[in-house]
């Protein structure tokens, strides 16, 4: 069960309106690695956790925090659109700067949301449940999480260079910091699980006889040149303890020939049925 407190987790006050940046900032609300993604990802992982209550609690802590991040960013977008020349069609004709704003902003901010944030990315594509990951395997999912926080922090860093508004930069500074913490915590949790599960390969529960282990440590060269062979770690042991090998790619399988379909499939008949 959730509760809401009116105050934001951190100050979210831009110095001035900026509809173009409002469009760009949508990426970290409703993009693949926006706050909607991490909030829903951590909450679904928490709700689906089986038999690991401490990690369930960590997931609920972090997912719940992320709900508040959507809130801060939505509030920021709404304020970036306040007082902006969004509907000033007549001025746009004579003032190229206003014209550029009206052409370059997210049209949804003018037409659909009435100067509010939308559940969309910076191109106006709606957020999708297909972005999130909650597999029931915590090691796999914490890897998804450290990736999400890495991609998210990268996007925040890029947005930092796309604005010179001090108020906006303050909020981005806070988000950079929280993404640092979240990278730290998921990395620490991964190390914990790798140690407890006794290995780095997820899932650790696959019986060895299920796996064709003779193919588990070889880098096959599928592209011209052997640059990849000289990567420093290729000459050592793999993280799971066995030595890496390097080989030219080869085919171990058959040349596939499919049988003709039944008449009911109305597939093209085989060549010899067609001819003559």
Cα–Cα distance measured from residue 38 to residue 127, given in angstroms and rounded to the nearest whole number: 12
11's contact among a copy of itself, Ca ion, none, with CB below 5 to 8 A by partner kind, is a copy of itself
* CB closer to Ca ion out of 92 and 238: 238
| Segment 44 to 83, residues that bind Ca ion, using CB under 5 A | 66, 69
Task: Answer for the pair 55, 140: CB distance below 8 angstroms, yes or no.
Answer: no
100's contact among a copy of itself, Ca ion, none, with CB below 5 to 8 A by partner kind, is a copy of itself
Q: Tell me how far CA of residue 172 lies from CA of 28, 79, 82, in angstroms.
A: 11, 15, 19
115's contact among Ca ion, a copy of itself, none, with CB below 5 to 8 A by partner kind, is a copy of itself
Task: Answer for the pair 17, 82: CB distance below 8 angstroms, yes or no.
Answer: yes
Cα–Cα distance measured from residue 262 to residue 276, given in angstroms and rounded to the nearest whole number: 20
Smallest gap from residue 94 Cβ to a copy of itself (A): 10
Task: Answer for the pair 72, 172: CB distance below 8 angstroms, yes or no.
Answer: no
State the number of binding residues for a copy of itself (CB under 8 A): 199
- Please check if 113 is assigned to a binding site: no
268: left (phi over 0), alpha (psi -120 to 50) or beta: beta
CA angle 130, 133, 139 (to 5 degrees): 165
User: Residues 144-173: x/- map of binding to a copy of itself (CB under 8 A)?
Assistant: x-xx--xx-xxx-xxxxxxxx----xx-xx
| Segment 39 to 78, residues that bind a copy of itself, using CB under 8 A | 40, 43-44, 47-58, 60-65, 67-68, 70-72, 74-75, 78
| Residue numbering of the annotated binding site for Mn(2+) | 35, 66, 69, 149, 182
Residues that bind Ca ion (CB under 5 A): 66, 69
């Amino acid at each position: 069960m959730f509760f809401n407190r009116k105050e934001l987790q951190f100050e979210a006050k831009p110095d001035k309106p900026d509809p173009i940046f409002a469009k760009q900032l949508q990426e970290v609300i409703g993009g693949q690695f926006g706050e909607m993604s991490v909030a829903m990802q951590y909450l679904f992982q928490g709700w689906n956790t089986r038999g690991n209550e401490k990690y369930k609690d960590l997931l609920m802590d972090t997912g719940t925090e992320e709900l508040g991040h959507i809130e801060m960013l939505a509030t920021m977008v709404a304020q970036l659109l306040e007082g902006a020349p969004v509907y000033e069609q007549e001025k746009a004709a004579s003032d190229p700067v206003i014209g550029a704003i009206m052409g370059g902003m997210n049209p949804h901010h003018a037409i659909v949301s009435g100067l509010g944030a939308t559940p969309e990315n910076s191109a106006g594509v709606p957020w999708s449940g297909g972005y999130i990951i909650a597999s029931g395997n915590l090691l796999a999912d914490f890897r998804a999480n450290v990736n999400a926080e890495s991609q998210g922090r990268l996007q925040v860093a890029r947005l930092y260079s796309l604005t010179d508004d001090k108020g906006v930069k303050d909020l981005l500074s806070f988000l950079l910091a929280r993404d640092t913490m979240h990278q730290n915590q998921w990395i620490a949790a991964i190390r914990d699980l790798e140690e407890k599960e006794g290995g780095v390969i997820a899932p650790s529960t696959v019986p060895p006889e299920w796996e064709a282990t003779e193919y588990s440590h070889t880098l096959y060269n599928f592209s011209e040149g052997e640059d990849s062979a000289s990567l420093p770690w290729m000459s050592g042991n793999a993280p799971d303890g066995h030595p890496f090998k390097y080989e030219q790619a080869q085919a171990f399988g058959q040349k596939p020939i499919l049988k003709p379909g039944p008449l009911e499939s109305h597939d093209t008949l085989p060549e010899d049925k067609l001819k003559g």
